[in-house]
Amino acid sequence: MPGRKKVYVTRELPEKAMETLESRFEVEVWRDEMPPPKSILMEKVKQADGLICLLTEKIDREVIEAAGPQLLGISQVAVGFDNIDLEAATEKGIYVTNTPGVLTETTADYAFALLMAVARRIAEADRYVKAGRWRVPWGLMMLLGQDVWGKTIGIIGMGRIGSAVARRAKGMNMRILYYDLVRREKLEKELDAEYVDLETLLRESDFVTIHVPLSPSTRHLINEERLRLMKRTACLINTSRGPVVDEKALYKALKEGWIWAAGLDVWEEEPTSPDNPLLKLDNVTASPHIASGSIETRTKMALMAVENMTAILEGRVPPNLVNREVLKVRPPSS
Ligand code: GLV
């Protein structure tokens, strides 16, 4: 159909989202499982009015500068958007959106599941049984874990996902400590959570779970010095972004027993190399960045990205605009 706006999508979206998108726009999709190479992205943004992308696409200044003046928006199918150069997009009047809210409970479920799995060595137990190593009928000392009920959880980043994890922790009768740049007094009352500095959180928590976005100030927030503050019996859970944790330091901490175990859904590089030494450790439970990965939630995220893109291309302020300063550079047209 002539005159329809063009949207480039960097991966196949769930069916409902594809149908909605195709009913509104001229759509081109990158059909490979792997992300499109940068050269393709740079070529596609020359023509497209909108780009729908995943967190695997590095939308840096070079890609944004390659875009033609018709590119109005970048709609990311994820809540985190550290892969997009917001400053470059804003300068060019390009709206950038994300998908907050719809994945909060799903991600918190996963963070808590990972916490429980690490505490009770579930992945290790699975490997043990399947490898035929279960010989003693019932071992009093077999695969002993850590209790969760009534323990102390330290939540780094008490935003939407952090507070959803706190609600789950409250149900497990846990003492809740949190650290954030801002105090959340209402939540403190609701959840009996205590605001503490990062050092106190690390020293006193049995479980430390990370829920901050990746930024220059959170890169390697968990480093050697901070890992050394944690209890020898503590578990570290990361479902945020890999580079928030210094993996080399974490390896040392786990290998030398400064902390007890870790559950990692995110990695400094994704996919992490099969040679990553962390993968050789029994006290690491690993997963491939799937915390928001439920069937319902991934569909909701894609639909939300489509609605954001639709608003942008119709000249409205999209519901989940992350670079609000762009409104001064290019005000909405309706
Ligand atoms: C997933 O990691 C997201 O940011 O949505």
Sort residue 292 into left (φ over 0), alpha (ψ -120 to 50) or beta. Answer: alpha
What's the pLDDT score for residue 88? 98
What is the structure's pLDDT at 3? 85
C-alpha to C-alpha distance for 153 and 174, rounded to whole angstroms: 7
Q: Which atom of ligand 1 is nearest to the CA of 80?
A: 4
Q: Which atom of ligand 1 is nearest to the CA of 81?
A: 4
Our answer on whether the CB atom of 73 is closer than 6 Å to any ligand 1 atom is no
Atom of ligand 1 nearest to the CA of 98: 5
pLDDT, tens only, 73-95: 999 999 999 999 999 999 999 99
Q: Is 79 in the pocket of ligand 1 (CB under 6 A)?
A: yes
- For the annotated catalytic residues, the residue numbers are 241, 270, 289
The residue whose CA is least distant from atom 5 of ligand 1 is 78
Neighbouring-strand partners of residue 62: none
- The distance of Cα 83 from the centroid of its chain, to the nearest Å, equals 12
d(C-alpha 164, C-alpha 29), whole Å: 34
- Residue 77 alpha carbon, nearest atom of ligand 1: 5
Q: For residues 210 and 239, give the distance between their C-alpha atoms in angstroms, rounded to a whole number.
A: 7
Indicate the pTM of the whole model. 0.96
Ligand 1 contact, 266 CB (< 6 A): no
| All structural domains of the chain | 6-101+295-329 (3.40.50.720), 104-286 (3.40.50.720)
Find out whether the beta carbon of 111 lies less than 6 Å from any atom of ligand 1.
no
* Alpha carbon of 89 to ligand 1 centroid (Å): 20
The 8-class DSSP code of residue 232 comes to T
Per-residue pLDDT, 29 = 98
Edge-to-edge strands, sheet with 50-53: 26-29, 6-9, 50-53, 73-76, 95-97
Tokens of residue 205, six digits:
């928590």
Amino acid at 126: D
Whole-number pLDDT of residue 1: 55
Q: Kindly state if the Cβ of 77 falls inside 6 Å of ligand 1.
A: no
Written as tens digits, the pLDDT of the chain (334 aa) is 568 999 999 999 999 999 999 999 999 999 999 999 999 999 999 999 999 999 999 999 999 999 999 999 999 999 999 999 999 999 999 999 999 999 999 999 999 999 999 999 999 999 999 999 999 999 999 999 999 999 999 999 999 999 999 999 999 999 999 999 999 999 999 999 999 999 999 999 999 999 999 999 999 999 999 999 999 999 999 999 999 999 999 999 999 999 999 999 999 999 999 999 999 999 999 999 999 999 999 999 999 999 999 999 999 999 999 999 999 999 998 6
Q: Is the CB of 176 under 6 A from ligand 1?
A: no
Question: Ligand 1: distance of its center to the CA of 18 in Å?
Answer: 20
DSSP conformational letter for 258: S
Q: Which protein residue's CA is at the shortest distance from atom 4 of ligand 1?
A: 80
**Are 242 and 270 spatial neighbours (Cβ–Cβ below 8 Å)?**
yes
Ligand 1 binding pocket includes 103 (Cβ within 6 Å): yes
Q: What is the pLDDT of residues 13-61, one digit of tens each?
A: 999 999 999 999 999 999 999 999 999 999 999 999 999 999 999 999 9
